[in-house]
Structure 1
């Protein structure tokens, strides 16, 4: 029997990339799945592959439908869907609103729906695909970086508030992963992320290792811990290094 045998798991953004890898891994561990993607065709494909419930549509409002589809119980919710939302400080209102809605508020809405059941049962698990941008930042992507900081802050708040009541929270913070989102990052992604990019399955492996060890922070790229430490202890050095990357990107 798998580690999640019989548990009811929801994965948003499961049509490809990290979401598909997470869904496949949970299915391999015996979970009963509901999968979501904005693209109906991709949702149907991954659902058919894994004998899962297909829930196409906007991840920002999917939790009530997932709860109904899984007979009123969700044990694990993977808030994986995200949008890259590039742009600088002059990015328009629409870019900021879209990033905020998907990268932060979809998490808040899911928890608002599922938390009462988790607390009543004394157990539940919330997995947030944050990105290293939530711990650090990402050049050329102000809305993405800022909202990913928000996603991390929300996950941290959930963990410190409810862990003694049985809620396990995990924040996955990879750097480059070979997905459509890396391609969408354009030249900034090529400069910063592509050289150390890993496969989506590597992210799933890191999550399952972290869950087994009860870790909140999941770092598929271990070096991110060093960057985060430098950011905290020597912010001027860290900002100077990031500004150097920014100048290299502008020059390219």
Structure 2
């Protein structure tokens, strides 16, 4: 991957672990300056200490005031050229047991977190005439899954936002895309596996197989595979790619 340099500053939300950390490390390896954002300072500091990012910022993406203040400080150090809105959370429950509070939590983190971050970085991108915004959505933003109606609704909202915002900024040198991973080997997925085990009595191997069966390749996606797709969208070769929702899911979509 070429075309990224230390003059390219990337911000990765939810950058402390899993897909976000893999994305941050890939951007560092491609030559960019990378700031990771999350809620846990100790986790973020470990990412920086390991060389997978250069700087860390603490904020909850669902808190508009907090993320705006944090990103103002980040941008003051170096203007933000790339936003990877990766922070997310997943809760599962039957629809009739999914109350308004659960729906609100899923929307606040998975959807409004993208909105808040984009609101903060987009003015500078438009002013400079260049920028990349990549939202890490999910195959749940492209199809439905039982028992995650709130999560799926929030991820569908992310894809709709990406498609609309891409049109607004198409002439400003800014691209807006979504990457939609299938079931991926992360801490977030580990929670789903534990949930399957506790509710069905299945072994861990059986629970993993239950999730992997959605993927025609019969396996879980790796964080690095998602990071590679994001990295391409952030590079110069993807200048004409905007408004897209790219599935990284072994042919599931």
If the TM-score is normalised by the length of the shorter chain, which range does it land in? 0.7 to 0.9
Partner Cα separation in structure 1 for residue 114 and residue 22 of structure 2:
20
Instruction: Give 1:190 deviation, angstroms.
Output: 4.8
Is there any run of 5+ residues in structure 2 with no aligned partner, and where?
197-206
TM-score normalized with structure 1 length: 0.82
Partner Cα separation in structure 1 for residue 118 and residue 223 of structure 2:
25
Instruction: Give 1:145 deviation, angstroms.
Output: 0.6
- Say if 1:82 and 1:217 are closer, same or farther in 2 by CA, change over 3 A: same
Higher relative contact order (CA 8 A, sep 6+): 2
Whose helix fraction is larger, Structure 1's or Structure 2's? 1
Question: Which residue of 1 is the match for residue 90 of structure 2?
Answer: 84
Contact 2:106 2:151 in 1 (8 A): yes
Question: Which residue of 2 is the match for residue 147 of structure 1?
Answer: 154
Contact 1:182 1:189 in 2 (8 A): no
Is there any run of 5+ residues in structure 1 with no aligned partner, and where?
228-252
Secondary structure of 2:170's aligned partner = helix
Partner Cα separation in structure 2 for residue 59 and residue 49 of structure 1:
24
2:54 maps to 1:46 = no
Partner Cα separation in structure 2 for residue 88 and residue 189 of structure 1:
20
Out of 196, 207, 211, the position equivalent to 1:192 is 211
Out of 192, 202, 207, the position equivalent to 2:230 is 207
Secondary structure of 2:31's aligned partner = coil
Partner Cα separation in structure 1 for residue 105 and residue 44 of structure 2:
21
Secondary structure of 1:84's aligned partner = coil
- The 4+ residue runs of structure 1 with deviation greater than 4 A are none
Secondary structure of 1:148's aligned partner = helix
Deviations 1:106-125 (A, max 9, x none): 11111222222111111111
What RMSD over aligned residues (CA atoms) do the two structures have, in Å? 2.1
More deviation, 132-141/46-55: 46-55
Deviations 1:103-158 (A, max 9, x none): 11111111222222111111111110001000012221111111000111111111
TM-score normalized with structure 2 length: 0.81
Secondary structure of 2:79's aligned partner = coil
Secondary structure of 1:202's aligned partner = helix
